Amino acid sequence: MKKLLLGLAVAAGVAACATTTSPTGRTQYVGAVSQDQLNQMGAQAFAEAKAKTPQTKDARQLAYVRCVVNALVRELPADSGQGTAWDAAVFVNDEPNAFALPGGKVGVQTGIFKVARNQDQLAAVIGHEIGHVIAHHHDERITRQMIAQGALGVAGGLAGAGYGENAANTTTQLGSIAAQGFFLLPNSRAQESEADVVGQDLMAKAGFDPRQAVNLWQNMIGAGGNRPPQWLSTHPDPKARIGELQARANGLLPRYEQARANGRAPRCG
């Protein structure tokens, strides 16, 4: 009964969440937490990353990353973080990775410089990560997890009421695996593809060459490394991703050329 009531309570809370439309036209379920809460969570996660991981002592690397971040942020809509005081950090880690968090936080690992070999390719990485923030992907992720947890609570409670505690536990465990594979991870792949769209558009507006997003992912593939099957991955298949980036790059060239003609020609490094 307790599991059933908990599941119903969570489900009722999620029912109060809102729907919105993503930058690519997807229906998103958001609103499980407020923007202020998201910003606080982002600030806390950023502070923890700084406390746990050494930061670069190379002032040129940090200035380089901040230059790219600032150029991209200037092109954000007023209601999507343009007025936020964005902060950036460069972490000493050989893995090629980066992230952006609500509240205007960007982290780049030094390993990214092995694959992002010029400012345009770095803009493709950071633009993608900022795309997650302005497309409300963190909010969406939290909300969808709450929906999944609410449904599992209800299913586990019903199984327990009919067949006992062991059945409830088994239902919850199996349901968690199913939710991860078919509900949460597919959403992550959709978010990754969407962040590509948003980030590539953003870099073109800022005067970075959108074609370099293609070169970035070619470098990523060249760097090697094993990856899980696409259906268990939170990222789209790299080769399919490159094809989509290439197709969009051609359509974004006029926007990029207009940005350069208007004086938006970043010189970050």
Active site residue 129: yes
Q: Which of 48, 95, 129, 194 is catalytic?
A: 129
Mind spelling out the 3-state secondary structure of the chain?
A: CHHHHHHHHHHHHHHCCEEEECCCCCEEEECCCCHHHHHHHHHHHHHHHHHHCCECCCHHHHHHHHHHHHHHHCCCCHHHCCCCCCEEEEECCCCCCEEEECCCEEEEEHHHHHCCCCHHHHHHHHHHHHHHHHCCHHHHHHHHHHHHHHHHHHHHHHHHHHHCHHHHHHHHHHHHHHHHHHHHHHHHHHHHHHHHHHHHHHHHHCCCCCCHHHHHHHHHHHCCCCCCCHHHCCCCCHHHHHHHHHHHHHHHHHHHHHHHHCCCCCCCC
Assigned token pair, 247: 């197709």
Catalytic residues: 129
